[in-house]
Amino acid sequence: MSKTLRWALRIIGGILCLLVVMPVGGYLYLRSGLPQIDGEITLKGIKAAVSITRDDRGIPTISAQSSNDAYFALGFVHAQDRLFQMDGMRRLGAGRLSEILGDTTLETDRMMRTLGLYRSAEDQVNAASPALKAALTAYAAGVNAFITDHSGAWSPEFYLLNYRPEPWQPADSLVWGRLMALDLSNNWQAEVSNRSLKRGVPAYLYDLLVTAPSPRAASNDDGSVPAWRQPLSEASNSWVVGAQRSASGKPLIANDPHLGLALPSTWYLARIETPDMTWTGATAPGLPFVMIGTNGRVAWTFTTTHGDTQDLFEEKLVAGRADQYETPDGPQAFTARQETIRVKGAEDVEITVRSTRHGPVVSDLGGDPGTPDTVLALSWTALLPGDRTPEAILGINKAQDAAALEVALVDFHAPQQNIVYADAEGVTGFIAAGRVPERSAIFEDSRLPAPGWNGAYDWLGTLPMSSLPQLRGDSGDFLVTANNDIRPLGYRPFITADWPDDARAKRIRALLGAEPQQNLDRLKAIQLDNYSAPLLAFTRHWQDAAKSADPEMAAILADWDGSMDRDAAAPLIATIWVDRVAKQLLADEMRGHFADWWFWQIDRLELLLADGRACDNVDSPAKESCTDVLSAAFNDTRRDLTTAYGRDPARWHWGDSHRAPFKHPVYSQIPVLNDWLAADLSTDGDFFSVNRGTTLPPRSGVALPHVHGPSLRFLMDLADPDGALFVLAGGQSGNPLSPHFADGLADWRDGTYRGLKDGGVNQLVLEPATAP
């Protein structure tokens, strides 16, 4: 072998070694960023040693000698496991994503700067009570102790995006609540969508799609009729069983908040022990409190009320004066402030945020621009001054009984939520807490932007706590909220014109009422119930059209009991059929509006089929009947499912199409990492089942990604506070190199619950640094 060849082989061998060693070395280095879970760490900021034990899923139990030391330790473990998620949250709320992601997030930053969510969080910090300020400060110190004192690598996202985290500030914690209020308040977008729809479709169709009463809606005695509308982001179940209906003789409580499904999870489970109190439950990375759970004496849960807490006002510009708008008292100048958005890899972007007496001008963000001589301004209870919601959360955490929790809820301002609660003495109840506008008058049932120039629809204030729907439970009964209409008969104040379908609430009540005594096992079965009443009713109602189109598939539907079982064929056939019916009915007349509007509004389809006018395709010379539409849609269902899964319907499965991807916001943008890290597991349930399995309607094909559902499940018997049970949609860690990145997903899907007490397999002790 020649000398030249030997050197060439050595060089090639060296390169191959580098190709192997560098990835292995990089992997080992990145793993050094996983949290230290054993031993001791000496830190400034705590007064006494804090023990942090973790179970086999990485769930910590924090044992501290004071609440402030516990808050510090919670901030520390949150940062250990979820620092990138926390940093992304505060950047989102502050309108600073473009600093790390470039101009792809510029519109999001514009919106956050316009709404001023971070400014609102800073105002809350400035107005905080000494107890709240101490909690936020201690928590921030714990996060910063990790940022400044940790050794090893950062979470991989920081390297992929080439930046490092800044010190944590108290306002960074409170912006989480501002973002949650935004996520759970959607009337602003609904008003814009409705106005666009009204301009773009025939008048009869707008009425059937938006304003007409649902066929199965029950009228209150005041003449108002709930309409069918349920946005993607707002849903949850919670209920409480009175002591006399509980096998233990103490109340039982259950909650599964429905949110978008992704990795890492919205929630982080923890148990926190101090000499004064023990908290067990779901925390939010970035906040020092238990948001859903128990302190041993009281348990509390949340579901969205669907209160209409946003109004758009159309403001008239003064002729010839673009800097002024009309008011009942004459022309008034916009208030304005300048904001600078830093953009990675590009020049800074300067924006002007304008506001009127009603609120920020959101039409400046794009979308519906109004008319050439008007702008749209947003009034929203979450932007009102004096929001004390963080004080309410602290008060809930500290409440010794139900009465104290009720007092704390006076300060719960945004978003409006149904808080269902119980205490160890047997008291149960719910309160639809939050600020709800008291309006001078209501324009178009608050479904469209209101005239802002004459004052006729201005807000007078907000409803007092005593006027909000609420109820103390009876020990022999149960209280259920599932985003349904919670107004008692004869209730007069306006909460909203659009209440979601009550199928889940009815199903929960029916299952609870079927047994004289309840226990946690029965509550588990209810949380995992997959029955879809509206979907089953649709297939039963229109089964004759299905039989005429395809007897084989129709027979499968005829034998179906309504359970959205991932191994069954009927749920898949029924769901695709409903989607194809919607397309056959509406795609021609709605045109470009259809994809934005259609989101499993089965009750609207029933109205349209009963009315009949939409059944004729305006693009076809023939005169189609509703039977033609149903049959054609059933044939489309057979064709599309055959293409995807073969000719034998008996071999089709709901879980083939209904799959939860659980994507990560960064890794999902990188092809190889997305393929490696996305969970993509088949799941049960659908949009209407108690076990929520909301899917995106298919734009083409038959894929039905399960993107929204129970982010958490919580069950508790007040007779045994230490036995509270949880299921997390995901894992404790946000680091994909951690074994706890997604190790809870199978338990989440299959309903395997776990307690948080006495499961420690690792112990880390935080020792206070001695004064110099």
More confident residue, 758 or 701: 701
CA–CA dist 37, 43 (Å, integer): 15
Confidence at residue 8, expressed as pLDDT on a 0 to 100 scale: 47
Give yes or no for residue 233 having a pLDDT over 50. Answer: no
Q: Would you kindly state where each structural domain of the chain is located, as residue ranges?
A: 32-529+708-772, 533-658
pLDDT tens string 205-220: 999 999 998 654 433 3
pLDDT tens digits, one per residue of 348-384? 999 999 999 999 999 999 876 667 899 999 999 999 9
Q: Which of 28-32, 99-103, 634-638, 689-693 has the lowest mean pLDDT?
A: 28-32
- Calculate the average pLDDT of the chain: 92
State residue 14's pLDDT score.
45
Quote the pLDDT of residue 459: 98
Question: 94: how many CB neighbours lie within 10 A of its CB?
Answer: 20
Query: In 184-256, which residue ranges form alpha helices assigned H by DSSP?
Result: 187-200, 203-206
Read off the tokens for 326.
Answer: 């009309």
pLDDT at residue 610 in the model:
96
Distance CA 461, CA 387 (A): 14
Burial profile 455-470: b = 16 or more Cβ within 10 angstroms, e = fewer: eebbeeebbebeebbb
DSSP 3-state of 122: helix
Distance in angstroms (rounded) separating the CA atoms of residues 435 and 251: 29
CB atoms within 10 A of CB 454: 12
345/352 Cα distance (integer angstroms): 22
pLDDT at residue 139 in the model = 98
Mean pLDDT of 577-597: 95
Q: Where are the alpha helices (DSSP H) in 308-368?
A: none
3-class state of residue 717 by DSSP: strand
Class in CATH terms, 32-529+708-772? alpha beta
336 and 325 Cβ atoms separated by less than 8 Å: no
245-299 tens-digit pLDDT: 999 999 999 999 999 999 999 999 999 999 999 999 999 999 999 999 999 999 9
What SS3 class is residue 389?
Answer: helix
Other C-beta atoms closer than 10 Å to the C-beta of 335 total 12
Among 520, 550, 580, residue whose Cα is nearest residue 751: 520
Residues in the chain, total: 772
Pick from 331, 387, 384, 388: which is nearest to 360 by CA? 384
Q: What is the pLDDT of residues 474-505, one digit of tens each?
A: 999 999 999 999 999 999 999 999 999 899 99
Residue 24, pLDDT score: 62
pLDDT at 733 over 70: yes
**Which is it for strands 704-710 and 658-660: parallel, antiparallel or unpaired?**
parallel
For residue 367, what pLDDT is reported? 72
Would you place residue 669 in the very low, low, confident or very high pLDDT band (cuts 50, 70, 90)?
A: confident
String of b and e for 505-534 (b: at least 16 CB within 10 Å)? bebbbebbeeeeebebebbbebbbbbbbbb
555: Cβ contacts below 8 Å, ≥ 6 apart: none
Mean pLDDT of 1-11: 51
Q: Residue 239 forms beta bridges with which residues?
A: 254, 480
Q: Answer whether residue 10 shows pLDDT above 80.
A: no
**pLDDT tens digits for 103-145?**
999 999 999 999 999 999 999 999 999 999 999 999 999 999 9
pTM of the model: 0.93
pLDDT (0 to 100) of residue 17: 46
What integer pLDDT is reported at residue 222 of this predicted model? 33
Residues 499-535 pLDDT 10s: 998 999 999 999 999 999 999 999 999 999 999 999 9
Question: Cα separations (Å) of 581 from 198, 571, 604, 698?
Answer: 22, 15, 11, 13
Q: How far apart are alpha carbons 574 and 553 in whole angstroms?
A: 10
Task: Compute CA distances 435 → 222, 330, 464, 491, whole Å.
Answer: 22, 29, 8, 17
Please tell me the least confidently modeled range out of 15-29, 49-63, 122-136, 414-428: 15-29
Read off the pLDDT of each residue in 689-715 and give the average, rounded to a whole number. 96
Q: Which CATH number fits domain 533-658: 1.10.3470, 3.10.20, 1.10.1400, 2.30.30?
A: 1.10.1400
Do the beta carbons of residue 584 and residue 632 sit within 8 Å? yes
Q: Which carries the bigger pLDDT value, residue 98 or residue 758?
A: 98
Q: How many CB atoms lie within 10 A of CB 53?
A: 20
- Shortest CA distance to 512 belongs to which of 163, 746, 253, 126? 253
Q: How far apart are CA 457 and CA 123, in angstroms?
A: 28
When pLDDT is averaged across residues 421-437 and rounded to a whole number, the result is 98
pLDDT confidence of residue 439: 98
Amino acid identity, position 621: P
- Would the pLDDT of 192 be above 80? yes
In angstroms, rounded to a whole number, what is the distance separating the alpha carbons of residues 185 and 498?
13
d(CA 633, CA 538): 13
Is the distance from CB of 300 to CB of 421 less than 8 angstroms? yes
For every residue of 243-309, which 3-state class applies, written as one string?
HHHECCCCCEEEEEEEEECCCCCCCEEEEEECCCCEEEEEECCCCCCEEEEECCCEEEEEEECCCCC
Q: The tokens of 692 are what? A: 């929520």
d(CA 325, CA 323): 7
Q: Are the beta carbons of 331 and 318 closer than 8 angstroms? A: yes
CA torsion through residues 623, 628, 630, 632, sign: negative
pLDDT at 674 over 80: no
Neighbouring residues of 747: CB distance < 8 A, sequence distance ≥ 6: 727, 728, 753, 754
Residue 414: in which H helix or E strand, if any?
none
Cα angle for residues 686, 654, 749 (degrees, 5° grid): 60
Per-residue pLDDT reduced to its tens digit, 592-647: 999 999 999 999 999 999 999 999 999 889 899 999 999 999 999 999 999 999 99
User: Chain-centre distance of CA 420, in angstroms?
Assistant: 18
d(C-alpha 264, C-alpha 87), whole Å: 13
